[in-house]
Structure 1
Amino acid sequence: MSEARRELTMLMEETKTTQRRLADLLGVSYTTVNRWFCVATRSDALDPPFYAVNFMRAYIQLNPRARDGLPVG
């Protein structure tokens, strides 16, 4: 597992963020986010981009009420 995938997974677990919610927050498709978490042996697996990890680094610093209030899409 790549370091970016490991960090993104940890941040998502800590904030209880689903792949669908992350996709909505970033304005990308669910399929794109799902590919970041696919097993690396799959041909369509991708490492999470820097912007996604960086977003979650900032997102985790918000209190839960602020996280829920973020607009999606």
Structure 2
Amino acid sequence: MNTVRTGMAMLLAAAVLTLAGCGENEPPPPPKDEHKALQRAIQEPLDKARAVEGELQKQHEAMQRQLDEAEQ
């Protein structure tokens, strides 16, 4: 009889835990202005670095073409 009670208690606990996980999920709130400012503070230097990297890559390719043409 004690095993039956233990089994039933475990089944009841499992059912409660399963149903507790089925609550409605609300969408996250929109980012606050301070979060946006922090994101911009991080993103702007990265964007500038990518732009500089692109320019340096173009210069490198142009220089490599000149060297290739000079060798021929």
| Same fold by TM-score greater than 0.5 | no
* Structure with the higher fraction of residues in helix conformation: 2
TM-score, with normalisation over the residues of structure 1? 0.23
TM-score, with normalisation over the residues of structure 2? 0.23
- Identify the structure with bigger relative contact order (alpha carbons < 8 Å, sequence gap 6+): 1
